[in-house]
Structure 1
């Protein structure tokens, strides 16, 4: 990577302090005296767990703070502009021309009712940068640089007519068309599948090199950062813990917190927990010829068929991973097994007993034995109810607990998931993402299940918190003799907790593999493509990655 040590700083941040006012009116400092520089053409990554201040600092480089926050001290200089001393009107003039932003969710950045080209070139009209035909020609050249298909015509489509990976690259084109000196990337590949992520990272890197812009890349994924960053700034609690070149941070970290981040990225492989001899050996879960889909039914078959004749079994005390890209049918499988989406063909058995296909037809005991934990705890927990009430409801429903007995069990459940008893009086909105997911898990445990279906439960969490949730699941399995079906697109997470893995593609199981030997034993071309696309903690990995273009074209799901 390029040496930027001798370059004059394009961005200079000195003793930056950002404060916030809580709902109760209390003032707190969230960014505490941060200082760093960015050279022209340099890509600097801000990493750290949720709440470390990554995005807050990145947004401040545009002079922007979230509602309730304000820059309270220090200085930010961008080229010849003192951003912290500018009026809001003056800051608006440099956004899109001197500094631009690529969001985590490109879908939220586009207007669904306008064509893509009109939105990409809009900034050039607002700032009077160039004539429309010149702006469109520049947009097409950016589409080409970002490796978008049909660069001459893709701008005529609407946002819903392109894939998530394409939309993310189009948001980069929108950010680059005003020729900014600095581009801020705010976790832009977090929501993408691994194979799509590779394309997008390559495209970002090539386009940035072509236009010569500097960048700030916000992420909690060290393997992604390794492919794109020249330098890394490690943050925790609004303070810099360590700063250095990508190679130094990844291979010779000096600060204990950086070492903790690296350790969390490489979880210990799963070792199966023992099942007591007295427990019978009937599989805890069997799935036979399961077919499910969405939309109106015709002749007993839904309009959109998703799952196609899925078969597998999960032995008691063992864990099964289900991997595949978005749209492969992973979450649909979990919903079909749980009865939330009744299959139109096939059946499931829990501990040798066939389950009614529809959730509403299952007995209380059948519901109790198999629980599901959803991906987004934010939407799974009622925001208007206290944690105590949320956990108390299944205790009353399944076990008839009320009053002091129920309260005592709520406290036990919170302790099980390593949360303090005092949390039962709080609302979900007052908890962190990791705490909410622990409550989500505690609610499933309230039923005293034998099987838990985990649907992408760590995908919205940062690396450190996700690693802690995985360790918690392992401890609970040892203590309670649970079995898990773990749905994820994160292969390292699957390796950390699963015994076997099913690889899904377009609603079908294309291969079953032992989790610990996925890479060595995968035979199906799609499995090999998926596994080879997982970024490694190696700054040269993307440069040396070789994948068969025909294979990529065959399994393109962009």
Structure 2
């Protein structure tokens, strides 16, 4: 029988200074990964996925200690090696593809220099050989203009291209094992599909062993041969991927299956519309972008063009589209952070000033923005009480005990205990921080909340809980919500109406039950065909459908260009 590239035996990692009653971070971990095999580690945030994956590099996170167990790379116990020997292995025989490619590349160095750095530094091949190998990998990973990409800087390529370039960097040294740690989480669905296809083909072609860390069972089903399901640092189930999908044995595996299955229950048309009422918010022929604005109201670098949109009182309007389609720009325009160059915005029929600084407190109060990243939106040095107390005092004038009482009410609204008040953001989980982000917007007692990709960085179970919370707030407070996302399945669960954005234009809009069930535009069909399903073989079928819809889009673009010419 073929020997495993990686074998983990009875691994247990604990806190260096354990608290009374604390449990191991991960315990009794056993797994094997063979050449050409992808072994997935799946579970929600805090399940120990990344901690286990990093142990495959002989690495234990600060604050933890190895209490028991061994990790063998081709028969060598990594934890018996010296720091110098481990340095030779990391980035060479075992490589790592991180979640955020943008944070992993040096912005001041050209891409080609960074991709070829490992083989040059370890003297594995000559500069010319490294460049030739990199060029071959660019082609295998389907990176556009592979002959020119090496001369660019990281900021000059897209997020999807950067993720593929990280894979090229990881594969160039011909590693025994490659670790993918949530490599497509931050990508939109269409980019995610092509990146996943490229990763899978590359692994099989080079017969490389791989660990794939993810919270998304639908994604894992397209690339993994075996899967280990983790919860609170313990293995709940290990099986062949096909066997797990066919008949998951553990209850938690079934929960992950349900969380990864797109919802087919779309809100029905007209259930929130009120005949004859003026919309809460109306956008009319909005143009926005960056740079100088010409005499016709056109910015030098347009991002959104001729956008018309209405949001009814108490309704949820979804905006979907891939990265760069203009979704977040629309939120900034409505919030007044990026003034529209042309067009009109009306709130209950009253004109809304384009700039937030020109709006009075009442107008600012009525529309609140909840940003994508709670980590950057919440001041790390302030307690939760101060973070929520400031907008409470600003918008309501409450002080002292009354202010503190209102903060407690806000925490209760987002299902957090009062004890959270004295903590700082770093002491909270990702889901808890996003609830605080929502609570801060609610402090103004708004009529409309702009939710800009608020669930994109969360695992599937936490994401579903946040969506449920937003639905509850809408019902309880009568809020209208603009829900912006590249995740079609999430929008289908929450939105009454949906608008599809592509290259700054709304290409299709209407009731969610119609647009997402019977789409008319090829771009909408492309998005829907890109939503992963917990189904073996889905990736190949989806890739063919997406390629077809992209060809239809290109044909339509050529016809439009000819007519305009």
Q: The TM-score by the shorter chain falls in which range?
A: over 0.9
User: After superposition, what is the alpha-carbon deviation per residue over 1:444-476, rounded to whole angstroms, capped at 9, x for unaligned?
Assistant: 112222211110000111111010011111111
Residue in 2 aligned with 1:320? 317
> Are residues 1:8 and 2:3 paired?
yes
**1:130-162 Cα shifts (integer Å, max 9, x gaps):** 222222222222222212233344323332332
Q: Is the 8 A contact 1:513 1:522 kept in 2?
A: no
Check whether the contact 2:316–2:494 (CA below 8 A) recurs between aligned residues. yes
By how many angstroms is 1:301 displaced?
4.8
In structure 2, distance between residues paired with 1:377 and 1:464: 18
Matches of 2:530 and 2:181, distance apart in 1: 21
On the 8 A contact 2:272/2:312 being kept in 1, the answer is: no
| 1:317-345 Cα shifts (integer Å, max 9, x gaps) | 22110011111110110111111211121
SS in 2 for 1:547: helix
Equivalent position to 1:77, from 61, 72, 91: 72
Aligned length: 551
Q: Secondary structure at the match of 2:510?
A: strand
1:451 maps to: 448
Q: 1:420 maps to which residue?
A: 417
- Secondary structure of the residue aligned to 1:29 is coil
In structure 2, how many angstroms separate the alpha carbons of the residues matched to 1:364 and 1:22?
49
Equivalent position of 1:292 in the other structure: 288
Asked if residue 552 in structure 1 is aligned to residue 524 in structure 2, the reply is no
Q: Please list, as runs of the form range in 1=range in 2, the aligned pairs for 1:226-375 lying within 5 A after superposition.
A: 226-266=221-261, 269=265, 271=267, 281-297=277-293, 301-375=298-372
TM-score, length-scaled by structure 1 = 0.93
Kindly state the Cα deviation for residue 28 of structure 1 after the two structures are TM-superposed: 6.7
C-alpha contact (below 8 Å) 1:97/1:180 kept by paired residues: yes
Alpha carbons 1:21, 1:28 under 8 Å: kept: no
Q: Do the aligned partners of 1:519 and 1:531 also contact (CA within 8 Å) in 2?
A: yes
Instruction: Note the residue ranges of structure 2 that are not aligned, 5 or more in a row.
Output: 555-565
CA shift in 2, pair 1:465/1:548, >3 Å: closer
**C-alpha RMSD of matched pairs (Å):** 2.5
Partner of 2:439: 442
- Distance (Å, rounded) in 2 between the aligned partners of 1:276 and 1:215: 51
Distance 2:78 2:121 in 1: 20
Q: Which runs of 5+ in 1 are unaligned?
A: 1-5
- The verdict on how the C-alpha distance between 1:280 and 1:88 changes in structure 2, with shifts beyond 3 A counting, is farther
- What is aligned with 1:105? 100
Pairing 1:19-30 to 2, within 5 Å after superposition: 19-21=14-16, 29-30=24-25
Matched, 1:155 2:146: no
CA pair 508-407 structure 1, distance change in 2 beyond 3 A: same
Quote the residue 2:561 is aligned against: none
Q: CA offset at residue 97 of structure 1?
A: 3.1
Query: Contact 1:22–1:28 (CA<8 Å) still a contact in 2?
Result: no
The reply on whether 1:123 has 2:118 as its aligned counterpart is: yes
**CA positional deviation for 1:170:** 1.5
Give 1:438 deviation, angstroms: 0.5
What is the alpha-carbon distance in structure 2 between the residues aligned to residue 242 and residue 467 of structure 1?
22
What's the counterpart of residue 219 of structure 1? 214
Q: Distance in 1 between matches of 2:285 and 2:128?
A: 56
Distance change (3 Å), C-alpha of 1:342 and 1:153:
closer
Distance apart, 1:406 and its partner CA:
1.5
Work out which of the residue numbers 181, 190, 198 in structure 2 matches 1:186.
181
TM-superposed CA distance for 1:179, in Å, is 1.1
- State the TM-score, normalized to the length of structure 2: 0.92
Deviations 1:498-529 (A, max 9, x none): 01111111111111032234343211122221
SS at match of 1:197: helix
- CA offsets 1:145-203 (integer angstroms, 9 cap, x no match): 21223334432333233222222111111111111111101111112121111111111
- What's the CA shift for 1:26? 11
Question: Does residue 485 of structure 2 align to residue 477 of structure 1?
Answer: no
Question: CA separation in 1, counterparts of 2:445 and 2:266?
Answer: 23
Change (3 A) 1:196 1:88: same
Change (3 A) 1:98 1:510: same
Partners of 1:75 and 1:488 in 2: CA distance: 42
The C-alpha deviation readout for 1:211-267, integer Å capped at 9, x for no partner, is 100100011111111110011111111111111111222232111111122222336
Cα deviation for residue 210 of structure 1 reads 0.9
Which residue does 1:387 correspond to in 2? 384
**Aligned partner of residue 232 in structure 1, secondary structure:** strand
Q: What whole-Å deviation, never above 9, does each CA across 1:340-395 have from its counterpart, x for those lacking one?
A: 21112112222222212111122222222221111111111111211111111222
Three-state SS of the structure 2 residue aligned to 1:227 is: coil
Shift of the 302–541 alpha-carbon distance from structure 1 to 2, 3 Å rule, reads same
Spell out, residue by residue over 1:110-136, the C-alpha distance to the aligned partner (whole angstroms, 9 max, x if none): 223333222222211222212222222
Q: Does 1:46 align with 2:44?
A: no
Alignment correspondent of 2:558: none
Look up the match of 1:206: 201
Quickly say closer, same or farther: Cα 1:378–1:55, change in 2 above 3 A.
same
Distance in 2 between residues matched to 1:36 and 1:338, nearest whole Å: 50
